[in-house]
Structure 1
Amino acid sequence: MEGVNVSTHPEIPGEPIQTRTALLEKATATIQGFGPVNKIHQHLCAFHFYGHDMTRQVEAHHFCGHLNEEFRQCLIYDRPDDDGRLIGLEYIVSEQLFLTLPDEEKKFWHSHEFEVKSGVLFMPGVPGPIQRQDLEKVAKTYGKVIHFWQVDKGDNLPLGIPQVMMALTRDGQLYETLAKDVENRYDISFEKERENRAYIKGPDHGIHPLANAAGKGLQTVLKEVDCFKEGKST
C-alpha cells in the first residue's frame, strides 16, 4: 500500500440529493447561523498515518479556526472540494498549553516542526511568504488527531473504531508516490519549500520526548465494560 489517491475513492452509497431536500437546506441556511463553521479561516494540507501502522498514510485537508492565539481546531476532509468527506478532526495547541498536559496525555499529541520545515504541510493556493507568517507559529505547536473514516481502506462509509493518527517526524517516512501526487496536483515543490523554510524554528524547549507517542505505536481499541455500577441502577 502506498498512500491514497483521491481520484480512486469509492462513491458513498445512497440516493442523490432531491430537490425538496436542497430547498429545505437553502431555507434553513437563510434562517440559521453557523458560528463555529464561519470561524474557519484557513486550509492546510498535510499527511497523517495511523498511530499503530505507519504504512497507512492519508492525505488530510484541514479547515481550521482559532479559538484564541494558543488553540485552533480543524475539521479534516479527504479532499478539499464539495465532495470531500469529513474523516476526522485535529486540535492544535501552543507549546505552552502542551506542557500543561498530564504526561499520560502527551503521547496522543504530535509535533509539527518537521511537517513545516520539510515543506509537506502547506496552504494550497497561498503565496509562500504569506504561508510562512503563520507556519512560523505552527512549527512550535502540537496536534491531536482522531480519524473516524478509514478512507485508505476504500471504505465507502465510516466503519470501525476511531483511531489516533500521527504526523511525519523525519525524512523517509512519507511514500514518494503520495508526495509526488500531491505536489503535481497543487503545483508545489516540497524541496523548494524546505529551502525557503530553513530559518523556521520548532518548539522553544525542543520536541517533548513524550510527544509523537514517545516513539512507539499507539492504537485505539474497543473494550466492553459493565456500564452499571454495583448497587446502582437506571
Structure 2
Amino acid sequence: MNATENVTNEARGNPLAPKSQVLETGAAVGQSFAPVKQICAHLNAFHVYASDPKRCVEANHYCSHLNEDVRQCLIYDTPAPNARLIGVEYMISATLYKTLDPEERKLWHSHVFEVKSGMLIMPGPDGLPTGIWEEAETKEMEDVVGIYGKTYHFWQVDRGDKLPLGGPELMMSFTKEDQCPGFSELIGERDSRYGVSHVQKKEKRAYIEEPEVHNDADRVWKVENAMQKFAGATKDQASLLKGTHSST
C-alpha cells in the first residue's frame, strides 16, 4: 500500500498494521500514561485564526490542572477515538496574566464571551439527566469566565489538510456574536450533535459576573478595528500574527 495515496481516519497514511496494533495493545496494558490520566474536563467551543479572523474551527479541549492558576489542554477536531490532535491551549488565571509583559499578553484571549453566550460547553456523559450535569457545568463556567488562554493549532483540518502542514497558527476566541458569520447556525449545528442549547445555557449563566478583560487581551479584534480606521496598523497586526515580541 502507498501511504502517499491512502487516507485513513482523515489523515494521509496506511491503516494500522497488525504489528502496530499488537504493540499499541501491549503499551496500553503496561504503561501508566500518567500525564494523560490527569485530564479532568472536556470543553467544546470554537477558535478563530488570528491570521484570518473570518476562519474558525470547532475545538474539543481535554484539560488538566497543573495547579489552581494553570491549566493545559490537548485540542482535538472531534471527541471520537480516532480524532486528530490539532493543537494545544494553556489557560492561566487573571493574576498570572497580569504578570506577563505587554507583548506576551497580546497572544492570549479571554473566555468571557464563550461562557456568557453559551458557546463554551462541557459535554455531559450519556444517561445523566441534563439538569444535573448543567449544574456542574455552570459551576465550572464560574471559574473559566475569568481565565485567559493561549492557543496554537498545528493542523488546519478546516481547509481539508490530511497532514499537519505549515507552521503553528495562533488562535483566538470570539468576543462578540457579530464577529462570527452565521453564529446561530454554526452553534446550532454543534448543539444538535450534543443535544444541548446554547441559548438555554446563556440564560442559566446570566448570573455569572463578567470580569473586566485586560486591554491587551483579544488583540486580533483590536487590530481588526484599527485596520478599518488606520492603514498604519499593518505592522502591529503582522507582529501579533507571527507571535513575535517586537514593539508596536
What TM-score, normalized by structure 1, do the two folds share? 0.86
Q: Secondary structure at the match of 2:171?
A: strand
| 1:163 matches 2:162 | no
Q: 1:29 offset after TM fit, Å? A: 2.2
CA distance in 2, matches of 1:184, 1:120: 13
- What is aligned with 1:86? 85
User: How far does residue 31 in structure 1 lie from its aligned partner after superposition?
Assistant: 2.0
Q: Is the 8 A contact 1:161 1:220 kept in 2?
A: no
Q: Which moved more, 1:48-57 or 1:212-221?
A: 212-221
CA distance in 1, matches of 2:33, 2:84: 19
1:148 Cα deviation (Å)? 0.3
Deviation above 4 Å: which 4+ runs of structure 1? none
Partner residue of 2:37? 38
SS at 1:172 equivalent: helix
Alignment-mate amino acid for residue 207 of structure 2: Y
Q: Match of 2:140? A: 134
- Asked if the contact 2:89–2:150 (Cα under 8 Å) also holds between the matched residues in 1, the reply is yes
- Secondary structure at the aligned position of 1:87 is classed as strand
| Alpha-carbon distance in structure 2 between the residues aligned to 1:156 and 1:194 | 36
1:184 equivalent in structure 2: 192
Provide the alpha-carbon RMSD of the alignment.
Answer: 1.8
Equivalent position of 2:241 in the other structure: 219
1:152-195 superposed Cα distances (whole Å, 9 cap, x missing partner): 11111101110100001012223333212101111111111111
The alignment partner of 1:160 has SS state of coil
- TM-score of the two chains, using structure 2 as the length reference: 0.81
1:66 aligned partner, one-letter code: H
1:151 maps onto 2:157 in alignment = yes
CA distance in 1, matches of 2:162, 2:43: 24
Q: Which amino acid aligns with 1:97?
A: L
2:146 counterpart letter in structure 1: K
User: Residue 55 in 1 paired to residue 77 in 2?
Assistant: no
- Name the structure 2 match of 1:117: 116
Mapped partners of 2:192, 2:28: distance in 1 = 36
1:201 corresponds, among 209, 233, 236, to 209
The separation in 2 between residues aligned to 1:34 and 1:90, in whole angstroms, is: 20
Q: Distance in 2 between matches of 1:11 and 1:97?
A: 38
What's the offset of the Cα at 1:87?
Answer: 0.3
TM-superposition CA deviations, 1:89-112 (whole Å, max 9, x none): 000001111111111100000000
Give ranges in structure 1 of 5+ residues lacking alignment: 1-8, 223-234
Name structure 2 gaps, 5 residues minimum: 1-7, 126-132, 224-236
> How many residue pairs end up in the alignment?
212
SS of equivalent to 2:177: coil
- The alignment partner of 1:22 has SS state of helix
Measure the CA separation in 2 of the matches of 1:31 and 1:10.
26
